[in-house]
Amino acid sequence: MLQSTSHPRQGDKQNSAFFETYLPRLLAERDRSGLTEMIGGIEALMITVEPGNSVEYIAELALMTPYHYLVTLDSARHLTHVLRIDMNSPDILLREVKDASYSDIFRHLNDLYPVGARRPHSRYLGEILRTTNRHEVVALQQQREFRFFPVGQLAELDLPLNVSFSKPSPYTQNMVGYMERPSDGIRVYQHGECVILPTVQAAYERGKEMQERLGIADMILPIDHLATRVYSQNREAALLEYLALSSYYYWGSYDIKDQNSSTNVTKNVRLQPESTSPAKVFTANNQPYCVNHLDLLPSPTETFVRNYGPRLHHIALAVKDGQRNGKEHIDFVVDAITAQGKGFLLDTIGSREEGLKQIFSSASDFSSLIIEYVQRFGDFEGFFTRDNVAQLTFAAGLQEGMGQGS
């Protein structure tokens, strides 16, 4: 039986007595109930964008990531483009709303926040996890008071019918979906009519040809981690909730005192490489905004959440360790992409001696999501150095103010 509680703890962030009491209880009960065995890794990520934005976003992703355009699922209210690397890494389901006036629960979540509302449909919806028995997993989770959309509402929300979706989390506002796939099977989404759109194919080929021409195609690896920002007071609940819904374990939390923030990491319990099932990272301010006026500490994480709502902040892709033309791969990739007019928020930070180098892109004009690149050197297994995270958080905060919340 998988043991979710036997992993060494990393990090220095102090958790509450509540968290330290309930974490082992929650994981032990999850193991005992069979949920840890029945729930696998991340099969797909779901992102929604505004009408007309998916084609150029696919060109951007074709250039900046290893993803390929596979097919489009044409359903009542969305075009859902399936982007894939292979069966060993999660798909991206990129949903474009057909009609700008369309309104659903996901749009309502954006409408609550001043910057999020500027792109009312654009948001990360959540992950779909693989299960061996979808209905049994959902029944067990419902007994544990987790809530799911009824089948009728899935059709109304225009979501794949072979996936069970939780209601959006009160802490992260993301959903978790469950679907089945045989060990040798390909992923199939029961969702509308399957078509290949020439405009999408052309945009994909444009991005991919550029990636090949720049010589960066073999340097950019699958997703390493997904980073979600939540309100300060929801940090521990968001972690416990995700651990209850997934088969991940708690890796540990780092206090980034410079930025009044912490980075909290969960990883897949089967210890598969992140390329197979990315780590899930939760970032939260150390103190809620309502006391900022007393200590005057920087609070970029809480400010982001107040402007956009709790949501995914960035998708981190690994960069293959190595050098070309005397440059680390990450610098080669960033220089090549910058020359195509795509912006980054700062220079690459970190070094071979520190174990890793990282950078944030500017937020995408099409999804508002940031791409992080991370190159680890040798056998370095950490997620960051404290100094890197402080600089990345600060740089992102400069772009995410109310004035420039594009």
Nearest Cα neighbor of 405 from 122, 198, 114, 120 is 114
Complete DSSP assignment for 219-254: TEEEEEEEEEEE-GGGHHHHHHHHHHHSSEEEEEEE
How many residues touch Fe ion (CB under 5 A)? Answer: 3
Residue 258 token pair: 């410079």
State the Cα–Cα distance between residues 309 and 290, nearest whole angstrom: 16
Least distance from Fe ion to the Cβ atom of residue 63, Å: 20
43 is a site residue for Fe ion (CB under 5 A): no
Least distance from Fe ion to the Cβ atom of residue 356, Å: 11
State the Cα–Cα distance between residues 178 and 242, nearest whole angstrom: 13
**With CB under 5 A as the contact rule, which of the stretches 150-158, 223-231, 284-292, 398-406 interacts with Fe ion?**
223-231
Q: Please provide residue 122's backbone torsions phi and psi, each rounded to the nearest 5 degrees.
A: -85, 110
State the Cα–Cα distance between residues 234 and 310, nearest whole angstrom: 10
Least distance from Fe ion to the Cβ atom of residue 318, Å: 11
H/E element, 98: none
Touching Fe ion, residues 170-189 (CB under 5 A): none
Q: Measured from the CB atom, is 200 or 374 closer to Fe ion?
A: 374
- By the 8 A CB rule, do 200 and 151 touch? no
State the Cα–Cα distance between residues 285 and 348, nearest whole angstrom: 24
227, 240, 269, 318: which one binds Fe ion (CB under 5 A): 227
Q: Measured from the CB atom, is 81 or 267 closer to Fe ion?
A: 267
Rg value, the chain, Cα: 20
Q: Measured from the CB atom, is 227 or 284 closer to Fe ion?
A: 227
Give me the half-sphere count of Cα atoms (radius 13 Å) on the Cβ side of residue 135: 2
Q: Measured from the CB atom, is 113 or 384 closer to Fe ion?
A: 384
Touching Fe ion, residues 283-322 (CB under 5 A): 316
Least distance from Fe ion to the Cβ atom of residue 126, Å: 18
Least distance from Fe ion to the Cβ atom of residue 319, Å: 13
Least distance from Fe ion to the Cβ atom of residue 315, Å: 9
E strands, 122-219, in order: 123-131, 164-165, 175-180, 193-195
- By the 8 A CB rule, do 69 and 204 touch? yes
Q: Measured from the CB atom, is 219 or 396 closer to Fe ion?
A: 396
Touching Fe ion, residues 357-396 (CB under 5 A): 372
Least distance from Fe ion to the Cβ atom of residue 98, Å: 33
- By the 8 A CB rule, do 396 and 345 touch? yes
Q: Measured from the CB atom, is 136 or 255 closer to Fe ion?
A: 255
**With CB under 5 A as the contact rule, which of the stretches 117-125, 219-227, 244-252, 286-294 interacts with Fe ion?**
219-227
Least distance from Fe ion to the Cβ atom of residue 389, Å: 8
Interacting residue ranges for Fe ion, rule: CB under 5 A? 227, 316, 372
